[in-house]
Amino acid sequence: MSQILVMFTGGTIGSKNDNGAISVNEAGSYHLIDAYMASALKRDADLETVQPMNILSENIVPSDWNTLIAAIRAVDQSKYDGIIVTHGSDTLAFSAALLSFVLCDLTIPLVLVASNYPLGDKRANGLSNFAAAVDFISEDAAPGVFVIYRNDKGESVVYLGSRITQCESFTDQFDSPYSVPYGTMTGGRLVRYDHPFNPAHDELRTRQPESSPWLEDGEGIQSGMLYIRPFPGLNYSYYDFSVHKPKAVLHDLFHSGTANASGADSHSLLQFAEYCAEQGVDLYLCPLKDSSEAMYASSILLKEAGAVFIENMSVEAALMKLTLAYSLPLGKEEIQAFVMEQPLFYEFVANRGKLGV
């Protein structure tokens, strides 16, 4: 019988619909266990429950991550076959990436699950996601952080925690870079998606965990990042660092790895790059598939201006790895090496051989 620790954090999977208002409910989380035990999806597993926090995931701030991380790191992993963390879908991709990095030394699987609707709604996939997580831990366990979420095709998709991208607003669907998930749970077992970007499951099972960068006596995850998405007409003069200065900026890019680099005006990222340099604020650009391929002239100009491109990594993973890096006592060069050269849990998608992951 599998021994599984279930950690409730809130989210839609732990919510109830009260006259059209969806909010977290203390009883909502434990209703998931009751529903599972009464369902045909139930298997022989011993489920122990704790609730380190109870919030809607859109309200998560770094102090909440610190609470969750502390609760997980306090677990005696030798007592359990795995951990399931229930989480809201809004910020699940960010939490999954951050946990993948902070908990890269896990010796058991940790699976995050969410629900597209409150469990009382017949459209909800929360119970199915939870059941698939129990199956994964019981049958196909591998150490590390994963997400399991049933898509609109009825497939229970398994994602590596460092490779899941944000849920799409209109379809409630998650994705991953290149649309390459790790696999699916089919008939209660993992069916791995055989793709060059994916590690073999035996590799995951026998993986020697990296040493966690987490400092038990440190200050934990701290705020400090500014994230910017480009759009036509973006005016960088609205960003004034004279009062409050971020530790670093992560600037998203258009799909071709570009942003406005037309000249030295308030709409140009080139001018903003100069401003960041003057203010002593590090500027990172992401995503970029691979700088060894041909690049647009605008991308080359941005690189020459001192902006640092983060390659072969999702924006979600890059933002969380930077957030972690700038929460650690590292210098600028150490931070760049940590983010761009030190693999923690398969966050680099296309150049696994180059980085040895």
Regarding whether 161 and 287 lie in a shared domain, the answer is no
Regarding whether 327 and 197 lie in a shared domain, the answer is no
In a domain, 162, yes or no: yes
pLDDT mean across residues, the chain: 90
Average pLDDT over residues 43-49: 94
Q: Is residue 58 predicted with pLDDT exceeding 60?
A: yes
Q: Is residue 357 predicted with pLDDT exceeding 50?
A: no
Where are any strands of DSSP class E within 187-317? 189-192, 225-228, 248-252, 282-288, 308-311
Average pLDDT over residues 281-309: 79
Does residue 313 or residue 300 have the better pLDDT? 313
Average pLDDT over residues 302-330: 93
In a domain, 70, yes or no: yes
Q: Is residue 224 predicted with pLDDT exceeding 90?
A: yes
Q: Could you list the active site residues?
A: 12
In a domain, 213, yes or no: no
Regarding whether 303 and 260 lie in a shared domain, the answer is yes
Average pLDDT over residues 13-41: 70
Phi, psi of 60 (to 5 degrees): -65, 135
Regarding whether 318 and 236 lie in a shared domain, the answer is yes
Q: Is residue 20 predicted with pLDDT exceeding 70?
A: no
Nearest to 199 by CA among 167, 155, 158, 166: 158
Regarding whether 199 and 285 lie in a shared domain, the answer is no
The predicted-structure confidence for 107-122, as pLDDT tens digits, reads as follows: 999 999 999 988 888 8
In a domain, 219, yes or no: no
Regarding whether 105 and 147 lie in a shared domain, the answer is yes
In a domain, 243, yes or no: yes
In a domain, 16, yes or no: yes
Question: Any idea what the CATH number is for the domain that residue 97 is in?
Answer: 3.40.50.1170
Q: Are 99 and 145 in contact (CB under 8 A)?
A: yes
The predicted-structure confidence for 134-174, as pLDDT tens digits, reads as follows: 999 999 889 999 999 999 999 999 999 999 999 999 999 99
How far apart, in Å, are the Cα atoms of 151 and each of 80, 126, 136, 154, 175? 28, 11, 17, 5, 10
How far apart, in Å, are the Cα atoms of 245 and each of 26, 230, 239, 248, 301? 38, 20, 10, 8, 25
Question: Any idea what the CATH number is for the domain that residue 260 is in?
Answer: 3.40.50.40
pLDDT of residue 150: 96
Q: Which of 7-16, 161-170, 241-250 has the lowest mean pLDDT?
A: 7-16
Q: Is residue 316 predicted with pLDDT exceeding 60?
A: yes
In a domain, 115, yes or no: yes
Average pLDDT over residues 336-341: 96
pLDDT of residue 262: 84
Regarding whether 251 and 133 lie in a shared domain, the answer is no
Q: Which of 86-90, 115-119, 341-345 has the lowest mean pLDDT?
A: 115-119
Q: Is residue 294 predicted with pLDDT exceeding 60?
A: no
pLDDT of residue 136: 97
Regarding whether 252 and 126 lie in a shared domain, the answer is no
Portion of the chain with pLDDT greater than 70, in percent: 91
Q: Give the domain-ending residue among 206, 234, 256.
A: 206
Q: Give the domain-ending residue among 206, 240, 272.
A: 206
Regarding whether 94 and 17 lie in a shared domain, the answer is yes
In a domain, 212, yes or no: no
Task: Supply the range of the domain harboring residue 232.
Answer: 225-355
Q: Is residue 10 predicted with pLDDT exceeding 90?
A: no
Domain count along the chain: 2
Alpha helices in the chain (DSSP H): 26-37, 62-73, 92-102, 126-139, 201-206, 269-279, 297-304, 315-325, 332-341, 352-355
Q: Is residue 202 predicted with pLDDT exceeding 50?
A: yes
With cut-offs at 50, 70 and 90, classify the pLDDT of residue 228.
very high
Average pLDDT over residues 175-180: 96
Q: Are 109 and 141 in contact (CB under 8 A)?
A: yes
Average pLDDT over residues 282-310: 79
Does residue 218 or residue 151 have the better pLDDT? 151
pLDDT of residue 351: 55
Q: Give the domain-ending residue among 158, 179, 206.
A: 206
Regarding whether 201 and 156 lie in a shared domain, the answer is yes
Regarding whether 250 and 135 lie in a shared domain, the answer is no
How far apart, in Å, are the Cα atoms of 194 and each of 63, 198, 227, 343, 350? 38, 7, 34, 21, 14
Regarding whether 319 and 251 lie in a shared domain, the answer is yes
pLDDT of residue 22: 47
Q: Is residue 355 predicted with pLDDT exceeding 50?
A: no
